[in-house]
């Protein structure tokens, strides 16, 4: 469904969103151990997230990564996914055909429409929605 990078990205963002605000930042080490991912690779993931300004960061002592509370409403999971996997998740043909569309559908075209619609709905969730709906507890379960 998603690339490994994308999964790390999603877990990172959800973890940071649940932990850190402008006052309380989390370090790379904290994120990597919080989502149980390889630290050096997670550093690269976080760089991509900060470059696309989904996550904020500050260097130096007491620095780290964070997401402002007011941004939790506007950041969507789809924003994170598109950083790592582009829009292939919602747009590509399930069988890999570039010419597949409503006029020249592949044999699975209609069945994929439903699935893509569901994925779109899911990824349209804001971070705030994820954090609320999950009643805090499930944030414990970001480890593999």
Partner DNA sequence: GACATAAAAGACATATTTATCCTTTTTAAA
Partner DNA sequence: TTTAAAAAGGATAAATATGTCTTTTATGTC
- Shortest Cβ distance from residue 117 to DNA (Å)? 25
Q: Which 3 state secondary structure label does DSSP give 111?
A: helix
Query: Under a CB-based contact definition with an 8 Å cutoff, are residues 49 and 12 in contact?
Result: yes
Of 8, 24, 88, which is closest to residue 56 (Cα–Cα)?
A: 24
Using the minimum distance from each CB to its own copies, give the nearer residue, 4 or 51. Answer: 4
**Nearest residue (CB) to its own copies, 28 versus 89:** 89
Q: Least CB distance from residue 122 to DNA, whole Å? A: 20
Beta carbons of 6 and 85 less than 8 angstroms apart: yes
Contacted entry of its own copies, DNA, none for residue 135, CB cut-off 5 to 8 Å set by kind: none
- In degrees, rounded to 5, the angle at the alpha carbon of residue 2 between the alpha carbons of residues 65 and 32 is 30
**How far apart are alpha carbons 3 and 83 in whole angstroms?**
11
Per-residue string for binding with DNA, 38-77, x by CB under 7 A?
xxxx-xx-xx--xx-----xxxxxxxxx------------
Q: Site residues (CB under 7 A) for DNA?
A: 3-5, 8, 26-29, 37-41, 43-44, 46-47, 50-51, 57-65
């Amino acid at each position: 469904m998603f690339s490994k990078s994308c999964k790390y990205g999603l877990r990172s963002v959800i973890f940071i969103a649940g932990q850190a605000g402008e006052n309380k930042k989390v370090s790379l080490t904290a994120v990597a151990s919080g989502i149980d991912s390889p630290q050096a690779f997670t550093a690269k993931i976080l760089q991509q997230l900060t470059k696309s300004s989904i996550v904020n960061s500050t260097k130096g002592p007491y620095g780290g990564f964070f997401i402002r509370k007011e941004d939790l409403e506007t950041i969507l999971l789809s924003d994170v996914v598109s950083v790592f996997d582009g829009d292939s998740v919602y747009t590509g043909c399930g069988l890999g055909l570039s010419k597949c569309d409503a006029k020249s559908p592949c044999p699975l075209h209609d069945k994929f429409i439903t699935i893509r619609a569901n994925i779109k709905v899911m990824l349209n969730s804001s971070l705030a929605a994820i954090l609320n709906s999950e009643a805090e507890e499930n944030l414990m379960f970001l480890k593999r």
